[in-house]
A and B are shown apart, each in its own frame.
Chain A
Amino acid sequence: MLSIGHYLFLSLALFIIGVVGVVTRRNVIVVLMSIELILNAVNINLVAFSRLYGDVAGQVFALFIIADAAAEAAVGLGIIIAFFRNRETVLADEMDLLKW
């Protein structure tokens, strides 16, 4: 029988992989994918605690986050395509126009 600890461990692992991906990867598409990982880590967390406490609200939250992630992926990819058309690159370290 899987305890809550297993779920939390899985969630934590996914979260750390996602965070490391966001912070370290240069390709923005990979960064977006890493963000999906983080969101799914949160989903697992929510669903696990929903099952543990028998409260369905957690699962509803998870569904919202999935919808949100889909929308976010669509908008993010749109921005990346627009950016690529301008700069012919999708590398994050070349996106430095925001600095002073």
Chain B
Amino acid sequence: MNGGDTPNGPPQPTRARVAEGLARRYRRERRFRLLGLAALLFGLGFLAVFFVTLIANGHTAFVQTRILLDIELDAERIDPDGRREPIALETANYQQLIRDALHRRFPDVTERRDVRELYALISPAADLEIRRLVLDDPAVIGQTRSFWLLADDDVDMLVKGRIDRDAPEAGRRLSDRQIRWVDTLAADGRVELKLNRYFFTSGDSRDPELAGIWSATVGSFFMLLVTLLLSFPLGVATAVYLEEFAPRNRWTDLIEVNINNLAAVPSIVFGLLGLALFINIFGLPRSAPLVGGLVLTLMTLPVIIIASRAALKAVPPSIREAALGVGASKMQVVLHHVLPLALPGMLTGTIIGMARALGESAPLLMIGMVAFIVDVPESPLDPSSALPVQIFLWADSPERAFVERTSAAILVLLAFLVLMNGAAILLRRRFERRW
């Protein structure tokens, strides 16, 4: 295999030198590839840690502890008049029924302090479900019914194993007695983890067992709706004008530089602008998704304009020439040919911009969307929160039970983001054209 032996080959020194370097070149290539692979694995590793932590912390928030109690729907207690008036049924003290049931279950608890601890096992809002049943069907009054009552968040944490039983009593939220009671109930099969409906259907609450993401989700939805309705048409129109109609001169250059700069402006600055402009000058309501949407529009517009211009630039000039060649006007060239071909790219950019807007929290803090919102907003003018802001608020709450809810809310937000980015990729695949 000595290169110098072949009569027609290049002179031996060249071959030898190339062969010498060849091994080194391949080694270098292998090293380079390994380096890239290592970087990728490093990134993936972090992502895996992130997801594992989130899921480990958050998955328990989708269920919550309920305790089975036999409630005697005593007519004397609910409706002493016996007239079954709605107002009476609504204001009756259902809490007392729960307390009675607890007393029947644990008759030996009599001391005032112990009684209060016993009552604390059940969520202060557990009576709402009893009341709903009675209001729906007053005929149940007088019967004894079994209810899976909402447990207090501390009991919930105990059942989910998030309270250390070996810690000294003073260092836990539950006393030894309370733990014993829960264990007794559990031994009877009266403690169970059930689907956490409140998490998906209610707004924020001071009681973690009642807190949910629905009002924040609706707020985010209204906000994105406003953002989409404003930023897509505005962004596309701007991009079309700049790309197809505007002359190239110093002014358009200046505008281009500014648009690129705006895309890089920290989002909190847009929040301040929104506060000054929309709330202080235009007098729009605070904490409203409308204002949030307007602020996010300011933030998303540059992204959409840049993506749309790139999509317009990608339409080959031959298509424009073809249309001009048969006598299409500038407007017809754009509307009939360029825009339809650029639209998938524009939509992809828009979805990515929207996904960014969905995850944005800083500018919303500036316009008062950080408020404590229990009610589900019914229009973009109602006070509302947003998903990322809700996460921020819960992360700030001291209750142990909010930890899992924070993680769960992050999981929900991530699911939305994955959905949107998936849609963007799908759209690109589906409509990608080759010329």
A, B in one complex: no
A residues adjacent to B (C-beta < 8 A): none
B residues adjacent to A (C-beta < 8 A): none
